[in-house]
Amino acid sequence: MSSVPARSEVDEEYTWDLESIYATDDDWEVAYEAVTERIDELESYDGRVVDDAETLLEVLQLRDEIMREVSTVAAYARMRRDEDTTNQHYQALTARAQSLAADASSAASFIDPEIQEVTREEFDEMAAEEPDLETYDHYVDDVLRMKPHTRSAEVEELLADLGEVTGATGDVYTMLSNADMSFPAVEDDDGEAVEITQSNFTNLLKRPDRDVRRRVYEGYFDEWESMRNTVATAYKNSVKADVKLAQARNYDTARAAALDGPNVPVEVYDTLVESVHDNLETLHRHADLKREALGVDELRMWDLYMPLTGDEGPDVDYEQASEYVVEAVEPLGEAYQSHVAEGLDSRWVDVYENEGKQSGAYSSGTYDTQPFILMNYQDDISSMYTLAHELGHSMHSELTKDEQPFVYSGYDIFVAEVASTVNEALLTDHLLETVDDPEFRKHVLNEFLERVRSTLFRQTLFAEFEHEAHRLEEEGEPLTADRLDELYGDLKATYYEPAAVDDRIAREWMRIPHFYRAFYVYQYATGISAALAIVDGILENGDSAAADYRTFLRQGSREYPLELLRTAGVDMSTAEPIDRALSTYGDRLEEMEALLE
């Protein structure tokens, strides 16, 4: 029986270097205590934030210093926990760090309401008196914009205090799905028992033996079925928390509240859904082509992840993947390319799956640390693309913090998913241009099609599900497990009309952790649309377009997302980038249809 290694069995070179943050847990404790004491310094400014320009600058700088330290303390604890989610010591450190972050947010909660007591003209006068305040110009603009949805200092403090509680359902779900749930082992086509995990599930659905895929699919979703009431309760309360918090801030809907944070009009969300629905025929063509390529009478849900080439695809080990990715980003400039190469040699990446490790992949790190990338690398083309994706996030962070002060060092997910997907698109172009092996090229082309299917279509399906689930809660309809299954199953049937949609796939909503961060996933779909447009520009116009893109990356959150993307030459207030991405998908599908004839 195959097994997943223990953390201690993974070679150090394939683990991230968290010791570069704190050499020991004792050093973390020292940092934790130090920043805990600093939080109290904010209290002396309560009630006098805008007394004068000097005081305003002092409190903003102090807040930023504290938040910088808190973010580093929290990131270390969370990443240590994610190395092995069953480790109770790091579960405890993470819980303490979350409480610390909530305390810091609560302690600083009076700042924005007090800034909202001044007008834009009054702030400009203060900035003229204290020029260093100009750093905070966009931040103050954003604070003043949110005045209709900001409550009194007392209510803001209460809402900040409740942050740890309102986010608890996501923590429960994380522990349930990664630490407590145990999936069965299935016998593969060689007669060997293979353990199903969160990380290898979709990879197992690419096995050439259709009966193996069916058993994996059924075993996996049957385990989720045994947890359906627990997961439904968790998600129901997560949705309820979203709705209540939106109401507390005077929003009509939870969706409006979520999109107003980054100042994205809800029309962008609706345009995405409408454009995708207008192009579902192309997705249906993809499904039909997959049925034909697999030689089956009916496409089943356990067939969806199978490549159009009908087999598992070539192995791509981590070292080869790293080389390909570094080569692929050459159009972004020598400095960008060198930085990526250096990062891969400096233990940015925690590469392989181990027992208890957080599933999936992400890019982390803080303003004062190197980037850190969690992966569960599976020696395949998909994992190579995931590496390119997460490196896009990491480089976005690196270029931003090199150029921007801490207050603008973050960036909204709306633009973050552009940086990651630009790397993916460049990788596709590089491989199709440089690799001669026709079978490998087929798999690269298939990967592109699958990435668009799973990112543009699948995430839009998720976005519809989230929107409808929140709408039902807002209208007072109970979100039971059966109702959520019905909602999700109907959407799956619409998107995959040529395939057979069974009862098990209606439970798929249970396995999506992003749903506990509401109205997040649509940005993957808008992100891939913007990214494909940007890459088209870079490949057509060369250095000038690449320079515009690097300027976009360096801006962090100094402007609102739609304005930032205009810097890179993309207008996401229109359907044009989405329609262009869907057209590219259709063109690539035609190429694959011709190859498979």
Domain topology for 170-181+227-346+380-597: Neurolysin; domain 3 (1.10.1370)
| pLDDT tens sequence across 538-547 | 999 999 999 9
**Per-chain mean pLDDT for the chain:** 94
Q: Return d(Cα 105, Cα 175) in angstroms, integer.
A: 25
pLDDT at 569 over 70: yes
pLDDT at 529 over 80: yes
pLDDT at 294 over 90: yes
Q: What is the mean pLDDT of residues 314-318?
A: 95
Q: Return d(Cα 158, Cα 106) in angstroms, integer.
A: 7
pLDDT at 312 over 80: no
Token pair 């692929």: residue: 328
pLDDT at 2 over 80: no
Q: Catalytic residue at 390?
A: yes
pLDDT at 591 over 90: no
- Extents of the domains making up the chain: 7-166, 170-181+227-346+380-597
Mapping DSSP onto H, E and C, the string for 208-246 reads CCHHHHHHHHHHHHHHHHCCHHHHHHHHHHHHHHHHHHH
| pLDDT tens sequence across 256-268 | 999 999 999 999 9
| pLDDT tens sequence across 111-122 | 999 999 999 999
* 136 sits in which H/E element: none
Proportion of the chain above pLDDT 70, given as a percent:
99
| pLDDT tens sequence across 172-216 | 898 998 888 999 999 988 888 999 998 789 889 988 899 999 999
| pLDDT tens sequence across 382-416 | 899 999 999 999 999 999 999 999 999 999 889 98
| pLDDT tens sequence across 500-514 | 999 999 999 999 999
Proportion of the chain above pLDDT 90, given as a percent:
85
CATH code of domain 7-166: 1.20.140.70
| Cβ–Cβ under 8 Å, residues 585 and 452 | yes
Q: Do domains 7-166 and 170-181+227-346+380-597 have the same CATH topology?
A: no
User: Considering Cα of 193, then 199, then 202, then 207, what sign does the dihedral take?
Assistant: negative
Give pLDDT, residue 1.
41
Give pLDDT, residue 562.
97
Q: What is the mean pLDDT of residues 457-471?
A: 98
DSSP 8-state code for residue 178: I
The highest-confidence range among 14-23, 173-182, 429-438, 516-525, by mean pLDDT, is 14-23
| pLDDT tens sequence across 74-122 | 999 999 999 999 999 999 999 999 999 999 999 999 999 999 999 999 9
| Cβ–Cβ under 8 Å, residues 276 and 578 | yes
DSSP 8-state code for residue 4: P
Half-sphere exposure of 232 (CA within 13 A, CB side): 19
Give pLDDT, residue 154.
82
Q: Return d(Cα 279, Cα 277) in angstroms, integer.
A: 5
Of 279, 280, 256, the C-alpha closest to 268 is 256
Give pLDDT, residue 153.
74
> 412: exposed, middle or buried (C-beta count within 10 Å: 0-12, 13-18, 19+)?
middle
pLDDT at 496 over 90: yes
Choosing from 69, 114, 390, 398, the catalytic residue is: 390
pLDDT at 368 over 50: yes
